[in-house]
Amino acid sequence: MTPRFVLGRIGFYTLIAVLLAFFTVPLLWLVTAPFTSDPTYEVRMPDFTWENFQAVVEHPYALPSLWNSLVLSVGTALLVVVLAALAAYALSRVRLPGRDALLYALLLLSSIVTGTAAMVPLFQLAVELNLIDSQLGLILILSGGLLPAAIFMLKDFVDSTPQSYEESARVFGASPLQIVRHVVVPLVRPGLATIAVWAVANVWGNFLMPYLLLSDVEKQPAAVITYTLYTEGGQANLRMLSTFGLLYSVPVVLMYLFVSKKYGFRFHGGIKR
Amino acid sequence: MAAIELRGLTKVYPGGVKALDALDLVIPDGEFFALLGPSGCGKTTLLRTIAGLEAATGGSVLIGERDVTGTQPGGRDVAMVFQDYALFPHMDVTDNIAYPLRIKKVPKGTRRDKAAEVGARLGLEHLMDRRPGQLSGGQQQRVALARVMATQAQAFLFDEPLSNLDARLRLEARTFLKKLQRELGVTTVFVTHDQAEALAMADRMAVMEAGHIRQIGTPAEVFRRPANTFVAAFIGSTPMNLLDGTVRGDTLEVAGCKVAVPASAQGRLRDGETIVYGVRPEYMAYSAGPAEGALGGKVAIVENLGASHLVTLDVGEVIVQAVVPEGDEPAVGDDGYALPRRDRALVYRDGELVG
């Protein structure tokens, strides 16, 4: 080992340590600050108080907003999974002229639909359809934004499952619905799980759409409520923010762990097996 | 149990490809029938049309004297084994075998018993709780067969049933499949591109080319008397010698040699007409010295077939092959003479068998 090599190694690990710190410090703050009586922007040894949680529980909108987030994300995920599964199956199995062009166009447009550029027209559309300030309306609009990408991903998934499974069931006399229930859904289940998690995480973290379309504070999800956690003096309320932030992130992490353990995230398509 | 009958069956794919061209075929009850042909000849399309997975463009399909041309696959009372077996990967062996019964709404207990019974018959007792992914190719094939047997369908359709097995297992499975079909006595149609498989297993077979049936017959008939040069070239593990020739009175002039007119073609030939003379390498008597009516030339290649050798002779401009028993094989460069068996040689005019 030459000194040059040793120095190189030291430099390399120092760089990695700095990079890691860059990502760990905010996370450390997130897990320590909620248990500190008087949190600041620095990471300190907490004094393990539950007062901050007490404050969050007593906040009139904090816990209900987490429930709202759950309703919105699960509702959207369900709608997206069911519709995307049906669409992806049909698009994969039925030959349509211009099918791929249609899919790509949808994918392209979808990034606009729930994007910032469509804010005004979406708002107007919601007003005209009487869907303003309605969680259902928001679910529909969020689903619309996620569906094209979901269909695209799922279609790839369905494409990679051989048709002979379905044909085999057909010859045995299974009806189309039975084929979907007994054969297709179990085969693409990991894909459905992936889409569901992806949709939940997307809606859970979405701020703009609920902020635009839900004005009633009782209906607003956690992402929007976080934005209102200020002290009377107009300063960010770090006690509330940190504690609420922790409560806001834990469910998503748990969901990832659960689904990853149950189905395992696999990459599909691309490689012929 | 039922016979299968096809009347003028035609299938045209969108885009105008004619996969089946007005096929007529009758497969009697209980027969083990092979559809043989090169890839793209329409044999799989034919099988899928019988199953109902492809809609016929014209003509009709009858199963057990019932016209099922417009019937959905599930209503035809046939069962099919796919080339990749199509075992459901998320179900264990029992559930896979019992799946057709589940569709027929047989109670759970009954269908488990039935699955166990059929599974035991095919030697799958100790595998009933496994998933298809945990089975070998041969075991997967038996599960696919068990699932088909559990349906108690009137006819079985097998799409290349042996092609996913390795060579050694394929021979075993061939014998097994033939024995099973004999015991069950269910009308069975199978598709294969391997002529040896068709010859070995089938009671009768159809050789297909480009959407047409070129010959129907027992394996012995098809092997001994191919109806045309296509079948002659396709059947046989060593290809038949097909040599251009001319009728010269009582003899044929083939590759510069005089050979006798085959027994079956006697009296059916006109003097001076051009014909194709066909004889299998197995039906040649090889000798090192000249013989009356033999095709003589120089030995170009000797291939070892195990218990015999395939000798390739350069006879003038053409090549003639003969199978030579062990011990008699010549060396490359020797003079060699191949004498066709008169009762096995054939004559073709315009590609069709004369006799």
pLDDT tens sequence for chain B (355 residues) = 688 888 888 888 888 888 888 888 888 888 889 999 888 888 888 899 988 888 888 888 888 888 888 888 888 888 898 888 888 888 888 888 888 888 888 888 888 888 888 888 888 888 888 888 888 888 888 888 888 888 888 888 998 888 877 777 888 888 888 888 888 888 899 999 888 888 988 999 999 998 888 999 999 999 988 888 999 888 888 889 888 888 887 888 888 788 888 888 777 888 888 888 889 999 988 888 888 888 888 888 889 988 888 989 888 888 889 999 888 778 888 888 888 888 888 888 888 888 7
pLDDT of residue A272: 36
pLDDT of residue A264: 62
pLDDT of residue A114: 59
pLDDT of residue A269: 38
With contact defined as beta carbons under 8 Å apart, do B337 and B296 qualify?
A: yes
B88: number of CA atoms within 13 Å, CB side?
A: 28
Cα A58 to Cα B346: distance, rounded to the nearest angstrom: 101
pLDDT of residue A270: 38
- Measure the CA dihedral A219/A221/A223/A227, to 10°: 30
Is the Cβ of B89 closer than 8 Å to some Cβ of chain A? yes
Is the Cβ of B106 closer than 8 Å to some Cβ of chain A? no
Cα A218 to Cα A230: distance, rounded to the nearest angstrom: 17
Averaged pLDDT score across all residues of chain A: 84
Residue type, B299: V
Is the Cβ of B79 closer than 8 Å to some Cβ of chain A? yes
CB-based contact A173 B51, cutoff 8 Å: no
* CB proximity under 8 Å: A 77-96 to B: none
CB-based contact A172 B83, cutoff 8 Å: no
Distance (Å) from the alpha carbon of A190 to chain B's nearest alpha carbon: 12
β-strands B308-315, B346-349 pairing: unpaired
- Structure-block tokens of residue B104: 């027929």
Nearest of B145, B122, B135, B152 to residue B92 by alpha carbon? B135
Select the more confidently predicted residue: A118 or A141.
Answer: A141
A265 falls in which pLDDT band (50, 70, 90)?
A: low
Starting at the edge strand found earlier in the chain, the sheet holding B346-349 runs: B257-260, B251-254, B241-248, B274-279, B346-349, B352-353
pLDDT of residue A203: 92
Nearest of B49, B70, B43, B39 to residue B6 by alpha carbon? B49
Residue with tokens 């049906």: A86
Chain A CB contacts of B131 below 8 Å: none
Q: How far apart are the first and last CA of chain A?
A: 45
Nearest of B201, B86, B95, B100 to residue B148 by alpha carbon? B100
pLDDT of residue A267: 46
Express each pLDDT in A170-197 by its tens digit.
888 888 888 888 888 888 888 888 899 9
With contact defined as beta carbons under 8 Å apart, do B203 and B177 qualify?
A: no
Cα A41 to Cα B80: distance, rounded to the nearest angstrom: 69
Chain A CB contacts of B102 below 8 Å: 182
This prediction has a pTM of 0.76
CB-based contact A167 B86, cutoff 8 Å: yes
With contact defined as beta carbons under 8 Å apart, do A204 and A190 qualify?
A: no
Distance (Å) from the alpha carbon of A93 to chain B's nearest alpha carbon: 14
CB-based contact B100 A168, cutoff 8 Å: no
SS3 of B114-141: HHHHHHHHCCCHHHCCCCHHHCCHHHHH
With contact defined as beta carbons under 8 Å apart, do A131 and A137 qualify?
A: yes
Cα B160 to Cα B306: distance, rounded to the nearest angstrom: 27
Mutate: best of A165, A166, A172, A179, partner B, most B CBs <10 A: A172
